Structure 1
Amino acid sequence: MDFPVIVTAIFGAFVVFGGVMGYVKAASRASLIAGSITGGLLLLSAFLISRGSTAGTILGLAVSLLLLSQFAPSLLKKFKVMPNLLMVVLGCITVGTLIFSFFK
């Protein structure tokens, strides 16, 4: 399996898991919905990348950048490891991997 597929799928799984944990811990339906949608899109992106589709890379980049734009400002305001730091680190790794694979 290709490295960008693995990285994107792992990020997608963490996002879905984070949405579920947000719902369980804080009864936040918004976390559950947002995590399920964005995580699902990242998993779809990983599937499309595995099939050789450029659209999968673009989708993964778009969703990852969207998540970074949500969690990076929160990380700067309050330095919380969970979920902010984890999401920023995984998002940066995913974006870097996808950009590298896109121009490769």
Structure 2
Amino acid sequence: MNLSIVAAFAYGILSIIGGIIGYIQATSKVSLLSGSISGLLLIFAAYFQLQGQAWGSILAVLVTAVLVVFFAFRLAKTRKFMPAGLMTILGMLALAVMVHQIVALR
């Protein structure tokens, strides 16, 4: 198991937990749904990477990139570090690990 798989899995779990917290604190069904969908996509991507499917890495990078852009815009709009700033920073770290792994495999 490489670090890219761990990054995708961890960011997926974090996305699901963030969606649940958003639902509990603000009764935001959108947070719950989007956090669950993006988190499950990342967990599936990690699983398929573990199975040796190259497209799992691409899926993980795409979902993570979309989340980073979303949370960066949210951070710029709200100016609140939690949760947008934290998710942006952690997403950029996960994305850097994922892209590094893809580049290293070439």
Moved more, 29-38 or 81-90: 81-90
Q: Which runs of 4+ in 1 moved over 3 A?
A: none
Which residue does 1:43 correspond to in 2?
43
Question: Which residue pairs with 2:32 in the alignment?
Answer: 32
CA shift for structure 1 position 92? 0.5
* Residue 8 in structure 1 maps to residue 8 in structure 2: yes
Q: Count residues with an aligned counterpart.
A: 104
- How far has the Cα of 1:89 moved from its partner? 0.9
Q: What TM-score does the superposition give when structure 2 sets the normalisation length?
A: 0.92
TM-score normalised by L of structure 1 = 0.94
Mapped to 1, the partners of 2:42 and 2:52 lie a distance apart of 15
In the aligned structure 1, how far is the partner of 2:63 from the partner of 2:26?
24
CA distance in 2, matches of 1:90, 1:43: 16
Distance 1:27 1:63 in 2: 24
**Corresponding residue of 2:53:** 53
- Residue 62 of structure 2 is matched in structure 1 by 62
User: In structure 2, how many angstroms separate the alpha carbons of the residues matched to 1:90 and 1:52?
Assistant: 25
Shift of 1:53: 1.4
Listed as ranges, the gaps of 5+ residues in structure 2 are none
Looking at structure 2, the residues matched to 87 and 8 of structure 1 have their Cα atoms a distance apart, in angstroms, of 13
What's the RMSD between the two structures over aligned residues? 1.0
The one-letter code sitting in structure 2 at the alignment partner of 1:54 is: A
Q: 2:79 aligns to what SS in structure 1?
A: coil
| Residue 82 (structure 1) aligns with | 82
Per-residue deviation, residues 35-73 of structure 1 (Å, max 9, x unmatched): 000000011111111112111110001101111121101
Aligned-partner Cα distance in 2 for 1:23–1:77: 20
Gaps of 5+ in 1: none
